Amino acid sequence: MKLRNFDLAVLCATITCLPFAAEAHFQLAYTPEVNLAKAGDVTFKLLFWHPFENGHVMDMGQPEEFYAVNRGKKIDLMDSLKPITFAGSENSAKAFEAMLPVKRSGDYLMVLVPAPYYEESEDLYIQQITKSYVNRAELPTDWMEPQGLATEIVPLERPTNIVAGSTFTGRVLSNGEPAAGVEIEIEYMAAEPDMVANTPKGTTASPIPGGAIVAMLDENGYFTFGIPRSGFWGFAALGSGPAKEFEGKELSQDAVLWIRAYDMQ
Do the domain assignments include residue 22?
yes
First to last CA, the chain: 39
For the CA atoms of 233, 239, 240, 245, the dihedral, rounded to the nearest 10 degrees, stands at: 140
Q: What is the pLDDT of residue 8?
A: 31
Do the domain assignments include residue 264?
no
Containing domain of residue 109, as a range?
A: 18-259
For 32-65, the pLDDT digits (tens) are 999 999 999 999 999 999 999 888 999 999 999 9
pTM recorded for the entire structure: 0.91
Do the domain assignments include residue 120?
yes
Q: What is the pLDDT of residue 23?
A: 56
Q: What is the pLDDT of residue 210?
A: 86
| CA neighbours closer than 13 Å in the CB half-sphere of residue 58 | 24
Residues of the chain with pLDDT under 70: 1-23
Do the domain assignments include residue 3?
no
**231 strand-pairing partners:** 261
For 117-143, the pLDDT digits (tens) are 999 999 999 999 999 999 999 999 999
Q: What is the pLDDT of residue 94?
A: 98
Do the domain assignments include residue 124?
yes
Do the domain assignments include residue 11?
no
- Cβ–Cβ under 8 Å, residues 185 and 153: no
Do the domain assignments include residue 226?
yes
Do the domain assignments include residue 9?
no
User: What is the tally of structural domains in the chain?
Assistant: 1
CA dist., res. 241 & res. 148, Å (int): 12
